[in-house]
A and B are shown apart, each in its own frame.
Chain A
Amino acid sequence: AQKITQTQPGMFVQEKEAVTLDCTYDTSDPSYGLFWYKQPSSGEMIFLIYQGSYDQQNATEGRYSLNFQKARKSANLVISASQLGDSAMYFCAMTPGNQFYFGTGTSLTVIP
């Protein structure tokens, strides 16, 4: 069975500091994709970053980077230089095959 685990229900970070949001996954499929989404209080789901299971390098998109450790089955999101607008729910997701499986999310609060 496929599974995505986010163990941090809530996180706080000081503005301008970096923060790491944890995500572990479980799949027996050798080919899969890992995604992070942001959900601000307005409710929409915003795609942040993607990592393929065969990608050799960690994905980066601006202030977002994905720390992919395949042997440990972890795909942590690192946000550098946090901004107040980063306060939101963050979801990790996985696609082994044809479906998207989501974690339960981490609520991030950026403190001024």
Chain B
Amino acid sequence: DADVTQTPRNRITKTGKRIMLECSQTKGHDRMYWYRQDPGLGLRLIYYSFDVKDINKGEISDGYSVSRQAQAKFSLSLESAIPNQTALYFCATSDSGRGSVTEAFFGQGTRLTVV
């Protein structure tokens, strides 16, 4: 099993629908992140969380919300999906131990299409 698991892997949804992307990790990391990837724009941070009670907006949080249900679970919701939210979405985790940030471990990605 993957250390960071995203579900679903692919999703097509209609404009205006609410959709949730889920992420779970078995690495025991405290930090979790949601990114979206668009061609030519790299990965942009949507939200991040450093523990269950800590949620922070990234650079492109408008139109998204998150929930950190447990240390291992971090879900991303699109309250009312729109076509320009069509993208590849990644969940990632990292460890803040030893006083420095380790590399980010990524899920397999969720390819979301809003029609």
Binding site for B on A (CB under 8 A): 6, 9, 31, 33, 35, 37, 43-45, 47, 50, 52, 91, 93, 95, 98-105
Whether B33 lies near A100 (C-beta < 8 A) is yes
Interface centre among B90, B100, B105, B111 (most CB of A within 10 A): B100
Q: Counting CB contacts under 8 A, is B12 at the interface?
A: no
Binding-face segment, B15-23, B35-43, B74-82: B35-43
Whether A44 lies near B43 (C-beta < 8 A) is no
A50 with B103: in contact, given A43-B108, A100-B45, A102-B42 (CB under 8 Å)?
Answer: yes
Nearest B residue to A54, CB-CB: B100
Question: What are the residues of chain A within 8 A of B58 when measuring CB–CB?
Answer: 99
Whether A91 lies near B42 (C-beta < 8 A) is yes
CB of B114 to closest CB in A, whole Å? 18
Whether A45 lies near B106 (C-beta < 8 A) is yes
A104 with B41: in contact, given A43-B108, A44-B108, A99-B58 (CB under 8 Å)?
Answer: yes
Complex Cα spacing A96 to B88, Å:
25
Query: What is the size, in residues, of chain B's interface with A at 8 Å between Cβ atoms?
Result: 26
Q: Could you list 23 examples of A-B contacts with CB < 8 Å?
A: A6-B42, A9-B40, A35-B103, A35-B104, A37-B106, A43-B108, A43-B111, A45-B92, A45-B106, A45-B109, A47-B103, A47-B104, A50-B103, A93-B104, A98-B31, A98-B48, A98-B50, A98-B96, A98-B101, A100-B104, A101-B45, A104-B40, A105-B42
